[in-house]
Amino acid sequence: MGVGTKTMLQRREALPIYIAVGNRVILDEIIRELSRQAGIQIVGSTSDAARILAEIARFQPWVVLIHCDLGTQPGIEIISSIDKRFPGIRIIALSDQSGLGLFREAIRAGARDFVIVPQDLGTLSQTLRARWTIHGVAMNKQEARKAR
């Protein structure tokens, strides 16, 4: 992340996130859980792989959460496309499968992180917050001040 990006993140009220998960039930649960969290603004979401790139261009999120299994198109291919077209966006790959092979594929394709979606989605926001803190992404103004 460049210095300019970090400064922009520190000025934001909330971190703009786009979510792409093929399973609509899981997508709705993730949206419901993350919507409760301070410092997060969901700017768009879809369960339709064909809409992802156009919506990222439209909504311009700073973080994209994308499931590796989108049903109609492999998430790994879309991660690669996002990384090539929007190199400044942080991509976090989601999966309900653990495995070194899938992890490596996601990272090679351009994901900055890989998170296994827990059975209890209530812990997902805590996991993401911890990961973003590790990567130096301030979630809100208060956390940005602490990071200085």
Q: What domains are there in the chain, each with its CATH number?
A: 3-141 (3.40.50.2300)
pLDDT of 89 reads: 93
CA 107 to chain centre: 13
Structure tokens that stand for 41 in this block: 């603004």
pLDDT of 10 reads: 46
pTM, two decimal places: 0.77
Task: Please give the chain's pLDDT, 148 residues, in tens.
Answer: 343 444 444 445 688 999 999 888 888 988 988 888 778 889 999 989 899 999 999 999 999 999 988 876 788 999 999 999 999 899 999 988 877 888 899 999 999 988 888 666 666 777 777 766 654 554 444 444 444 3
Specify whether the CB–CB gap between 66 and 52 falls below 8 A.
Answer: yes
Q: What are phi and psi of 16, to 5 degrees?
A: -75, 125
pLDDT of 70 reads: 80
Q: Write the DSSP symbol of residue 22.
A: S
